[in-house]
Amino acid sequence: MSTTVIKDVTRGLQALLLNQLNPGGTSTAQVSLVPPGETLPKGLGVNLYLYRVIESPSTKNQMWPNDRTAPATRIPALGLELSYLLTPFATVPDATSASGDDAHTILGTAMLTFHENPVLNDVHIPGFDADTVLSPDLLNSVELVKIRLATTSLEELSKIWATINQPYRLSVAYDVSLVMVPPSAPPSAAGTVVSATAVSMAAFPAPSLDRLTPQSGPLAHEGPGGILIANLLTHSGAGLSMPGQAPHVEFGGQAAAIAAAPSPTDTALTIAMPLSVNAGPEADVKAGLAAKSSTPLSFLILPWLARVSPVRTALDSQGSPASMVLTLNGQGFTSTPQAVRFDGPGGTIHVATFQGTPADTQLAVNLPPTLANGTYQVRVVLGDGAGSASNARPLTVIPLLLDSIGLTSVSVNGNPVHHLTLNGARLNGGDVRVNIDGVAYAVGPGAGAAQLAITLGRLLSSGPHNVGVTVDGIASHTRVLEVP
71 and 161 fall within a common domain: yes
What is the reported pLDDT for 201? 66
What is the reported pLDDT for 161? 79
* Higher pLDDT, residue 231 or 186: 231
Nearest to 470 by CA among 328, 373, 332, 362: 373
What is the reported pLDDT for 177? 86
Q: In the predicted model, what is the mean pLDDT of the chain?
A: 86
Cis check for the bond before 303: say yes or no (omega within 30 of 0): yes
Nearest to 360 by CA among 342, 378, 345, 382: 382
In a domain, 196, yes or no: no
* Higher pLDDT, residue 2 or 220: 220
268 and 348 fall within a common domain: no
Q: How would residue 60 be classed by pLDDT, with cut points 50, 70 and 90?
A: confident
Q: Which residues touch 255 (CB under 8 Å, ≥6 apart)?
A: 248, 249
Cis check for the bond before 207: say yes or no (omega within 30 of 0): no
27 and 116 fall within a common domain: yes
Taking the alpha carbons at both ends of the chain, their separation in whole angstroms is: 79
374 and 254 fall within a common domain: no
Amino acid at 180: M
Q: Tell me, what CATH number does 352's domain have?
A: 2.60.40.10
Nearest to 83 by CA among 110, 36, 50, 56: 50
What is the β-pairing status of strands 45-55 and 30-32? parallel
- DSSP bridge partners of 354: 365
Domain range enclosing 242: 208-301
Q: How would residue 188 be classed by pLDDT, with cut points 50, 70 and 90?
A: low
In a domain, 201, yes or no: no
**With 90 as the cut, is the pLDDT of residue 445 above it?**
no
- Backbone φ and ψ for 162, nearest 5 degrees, come out as -65, -35
Amino acid at 179: V
* Higher pLDDT, residue 131 or 321: 131
* Higher pLDDT, residue 335 or 477: 477
137 and 31 fall within a common domain: yes
Give pLDDT tens digits for 155-167: 888 887 787 777 8
Last residue of a domain, one of 181, 197, 222: 181
Give pLDDT tens digits for 277-286: 888 899 999 8
Give pLDDT tens digits for 243-275: 878 888 899 888 888 888 888 888 888 989 998
Global pTM? Answer: 0.57
In a domain, 231, yes or no: yes
What is the reported pLDDT for 202? 62
**With 90 as the cut, is the pLDDT of residue 385 above it?**
no
**With 70 as the cut, is the pLDDT of residue 70 above it?**
no
Cβ contact 249:235 at 8 Å: yes
257 and 392 fall within a common domain: no
Classify 232 as helix, strand or coil.
Answer: strand
**With 80 as the cut, is the pLDDT of residue 199 above it?**
no
In a domain, 173, yes or no: yes
287 and 308 fall within a common domain: no
Query: Taking the CB of residue 455, how many other CB atoms lie within 10 A of it?
Result: 12
Last residue of a domain, one of 301, 325, 360: 301
Tell me which H or E stretch contains 159.
Answer: helix 154-163
Classify 332 as helix, strand or coil.
Answer: coil
* Higher pLDDT, residue 181 or 397: 397
Amino acid at 427: L
Instruction: Give the CA radius of gyration of the chain.
Output: 35
What is the reported pLDDT for 1? 45
Handedness of CA 454, 458, 464, 470 (dihedral sign): negative
In a domain, 198, yes or no: no
What is the reported pLDDT for 372? 92
Last residue of a domain, one of 274, 301, 328: 301
Cβ contact 236:213 at 8 Å: yes
Nearest to 423 by CA among 448, 446, 394: 448
103 and 154 fall within a common domain: yes
Q: How far is CA 379 from the centre of its chain?
A: 30
Q: How many domains does the chain have?
A: 4
292 and 313 fall within a common domain: no
The 8-class DSSP code of residue 242 comes to: B
252 and 341 fall within a common domain: no
In a domain, 86, yes or no: yes
What is the spatial distance between Cα 341 and Cα 361, in angstroms, rounded to a whole number?
17
Nearest to 462 by CA among 428, 422, 415, 418: 418
The DSSP line for 400-444 is EE-S--EEEEEEETTEEEEEEEEEEES--SSSEEEEETTEEEE--
What is the reported pLDDT for 97? 62
Arithmetic mean of pLDDT, 363-390 = 92
Q: Tell me, what CATH number does 410's domain have?
A: 2.60.40
In a domain, 194, yes or no: no
Give pLDDT tens digits for 300-352: 999 999 999 999 999 987 766 667 899 999 999 988 899 999 999 989 999 99
Q: Which residues touch 203 (CB under 8 Å, ≥6 apart)?
A: none
176 and 325 fall within a common domain: no
Give pLDDT tens digits for 28-54: 899 999 987 778 888 899 999 998 899
Q: Tell me, what CATH number does 118's domain have?
A: 3.30.2000.10
235 and 259 fall within a common domain: yes
Nearest to 142 by CA among 88, 63, 197: 63
What is the reported pLDDT for 96? 63
Arithmetic mean of pLDDT, 177-198 = 69
In a domain, 197, yes or no: no
